[in-house]
Structure 1
Amino acid sequence: MKYFIITNLFAGGGNAKKVWPDIKKYLAAKNVAYKAVYTEYADHAVELTKQILGKIAATKQKDVVIIAAGGDGTLHETLLGCKRYYEAHPTEKQVPISFLPIGSGNDFARGLKIPLKWEKALSNILHSDSPTTINVGHYTDLDNHTDGFFTNNFGIGFDASVVHLANRSSLKSNHFFGKFSYIAAILNVIINFKGFYAEIIPENESKHIFQHTFLLTTTDIPYFGGGINIVPTASALDDHLDMVVVEKPSLWQLILFISMIFLKRHLQLKFIHHYHEKQLFIKTNGNRYGQIDGEELGERTYNLKLETVKYPFWI
């Protein structure tokens, strides 16, 4: 088996760069055949993935795996690169993706029960002998006729606003204080966030309207936001997506919501709405921040179709 490792040394506030020398020593000690490439800018992993797949096809290599080494954003770009490549080369056999979690959030790893310690995660990769087909999220922008994919979640509103503010915090790049950038951003959004209009159309159902939406997250795994168990029953092994809509809560409702999350009973609250569907439609008005797998989408309106597609993972 040969491994192509797409490595983001900037992941985890510099943690990836710190542990990478130890990872290389581990691979050398195990006599692992691998080639590492390094991301240098946003979306670079998409291009690197397509280049790797092109070389694999040109040289007719077999028994290969692409490892995304970094955080959820690195995995997201690696998946996107694979999907874009196979859209252009639909007859080629898909090369499986694996994930080495050395970033900060690592929600995909939690959702798929991949160890968060890199030594154990890497050992599992090297001892795996066959891929597992999982379902990943796929969205279509019905206004712009574009599409994309997500391994974790697609969020509009609260979580996306937090990502936007935290990414612009001077604390984020600091390995020790980075986590406080999210705490500060959360408090800021809670105080200043205004609810927005959203229409939800589940598969084979009529329109559901929410006038004061606070959080709108579509997820393929149980976790978001670095370990928050937003949908305990969500699974990438089935072909459904889970959507959670939270109406703008009062202070006591917010406290109740947070408390119930720890008990995994928050989806029973009346101001929280949960959908489990093969296909969902979302429409909003007014510009709102969005995020995919922790990566910003900017501020815009949304008119989306969401569903799942399959891809092989080496897990």
Structure 2
Amino acid sequence: MQARYLIIINPTANDGKSADVWQLIKNTLDANNINYQYRITEYHNHARLITEQYTKDYSNDKQFNNVLLVIGGDGTLNQVISGQKNAILNNHKLIDLPIALIPAGKNNNFAIEMKIPKNWQAALQQILNSTQVNSINIGYYFNNFNERYHYFLNNMGIGFESNLLSSKSRFHWKWFQNHFKRIRRFWRILVNLYAIHEFPLSISVNGEKSHFTRVVWLAIYNGPYFDNNKKIMPNASISKSALNVMIMENKNILLVTWGILLMFLGKRSKLKFMHSFECNNLKISIPSLEYGNIDNEELGGHFYNANFGITTFKFIK
């Protein structure tokens, strides 16, 4: 049966460089008479809405082997998976379409974990030649406060990590960003350490309950990578049917600073105020309004009463 590619392009990924990549991909598809149709995202979360509509229109189409092809980074891929999952939750007669990715974002942590080539020609050729559909693990959580499912390819974080990403998004000096990346990163860490915020956390890990009163960072990892492809949780892997959890308490600012530096250097800390778990069953409760992020995308402020787990999606590489 002939394949048809339902393509979703984020033209703003990697500071707009993905738009140039798409033109080259389009020329290649046309030259090889590949059956495809495409949509270009125009605003935040547009990829989610496009995917929901694609899933409704083509989920049960028997004429073609339909594949959702994403051209973008982790954030775009996350929106596509979330859109498909939401469509199926609302209509159980729909089935999930296999998804493929050509990494064209600034953060391509999932592509690194899946060993997808950075070069778009190699990635495209691999997809076009592939005949195998793989089942890939992703994390999810259901927040009982707003009764919504959220999905994450790489990680979900609350606290320091989210504040760090938020301060990054507000930094608009592009020339300074491009020429002094390490200085900029170090400065953001210092600023957020100065304004570090604590919150209470009740957590159940595989049925074992604990309570922490001075948490500064909670992170749940499906894969090992964080911002800038930093391998911050080495034991986490999308090949495992388990989540890795890290909790950092605030004992004093010097210890917290040391622990955070170790994390961003990819070192596994054995400090007593840093707690790590691997689990299949996870529940958290945070009664205060805290900022969160998923796959380096900001969630905004939320109260949390959430259940976490692992689900899968169909993936072609």
TM-score by length of structure 2 reads 0.89
The 1:187/1:126 distance shift into structure 2, 3 A limit, reads farther
Query: How far is 1:243 from its partner?
Result: 1.0
Cα distance 1:86–1:256, how it changes in 2: closer, same or farther (>3 A)? closer
Matches within 5 A, 1:110-189: 110-171=112-173, 176=178, 183-189=186-192
- How big is the shift at 1:241? 1.0
Amino acid at match of 1:94: D
> What is the CA-CA distance between 1:175 and the residue it aligns to?
8.2
8 Å Cα contact 2:160-2:197 kept in structure 1 = no
Specify the alignment match of 1:269 in structure 2: 271
Indicate the percent of aligned positions where both proteins have the same amino acid. Answer: 32
Of the structure 1 ranges 79-88 and 140-149, higher mean CA displacement relative to structure 2 is found in 140-149
Deviating more after overlay: 156-165 vs 85-94: 85-94
Could you state the TM-score of these two structures normalised by the residue count of structure 1? 0.90
Deviation at residue 6 of structure 1 after TM alignment: 0.5
- Aligned amino acid, residue 189 of structure 2: I
- 1:203-232 Cα shifts (integer Å, max 9, x gaps): 121x22222222211111111112121221
Q: 1:230 to 1:83 in 2, by over 3 A?
A: same
SS in 1 for 2:146: coil
Query: 1:21 pairs with 15, 20, 23, which one?
Result: 23
Residue 106 (1) aligns with residue 108 (2): yes
Aligned to 1:12: 14
Q: Which amino acid aligns with 2:47?
A: A
Map of 1:10-89 to 2, 5 A cutoff?
10-57=12-59, 59-89=61-91
Match of 1:96 among 91, 95, 98: 98
Q: Give the Å deviation of 1:274.
A: 1.1
* Separation in structure 2 between the aligned mates of residue 173 and residue 41 of structure 1, nearest angstrom: 25
Question: Residues of 1 paired with 2:215 and 2:255: CA distance?
Answer: 17
Match of 2:5 among 3, 25, 29: 3
User: What is the DSSP-based 3-state SS (H/G/I as helix, E as strand, rest coil) of the residue aligned with 2:27?
Assistant: helix
Query: Which residue of structure 2 aligns with residue 204 of structure 1?
Result: 207
Distance 1:88 1:60 in 2: 21
Who is 2:257 aligned against?
A: 254
C-alpha separation between the residues in 2 aligned to 1:129 and 1:290? Answer: 38
In 1, distance between residues paired with 2:127 and 2:176? 30
SS state at 1:133 partner: strand
Residue deviations 1:261-283 (CA, integer Å, cap 9, x gap): 54x54143333211111121112
- In structure 1, what is the Cα distance between the partners aligned to 2:138 and 2:298? 19
1:228 is matched with 230
Residues 1:304 and 2:306 are matched in the alignment: yes
Match for 1:35: what amino acid? Q
| Range that drifts further, 85-94 or 281-290 | 85-94
Question: How far off is 1:111 after superposition?
Answer: 2.1
Inter-CA distance 237–172: structure 2 relative to 1 (3 Å threshold): farther
Question: For the Cα contact (< 8 Å) 1:159–1:225, is it kept in 2?
Answer: no
Letter in 1 for 2:230: I
Query: Secondary structure of the residue that 2:16 maps to in structure 1?
Result: helix
Distance 1:53 1:173, change over 3 A: farther
Amino acid aligned to 1:170: H
Distance 1:8 1:260 in 2: 30
Cα distance, 1:253 vs structure 2: 5.4
- Kindly provide the amino acid, as one letter, of the partner of residue 274 in structure 1: S
Preserved CA contact (<8 Å) 1:13 1:178 = no
Q: Distance in 2 between matches of 1:313 and 1:172?
A: 35
Once the two structures are TM-superposed, the CA of residue 188 in structure 1 deviates from its matched residue by 1.7
Tell me: CA distance 1:174–1:7, structure 2 relative to 1, closer, same or farther (3 Å). Answer: farther
RMSD: 2.4
- Check the 8 A contact 2:71/2:104 in 1, yes or no: yes
Distance 1:177 1:197, change over 3 A: farther
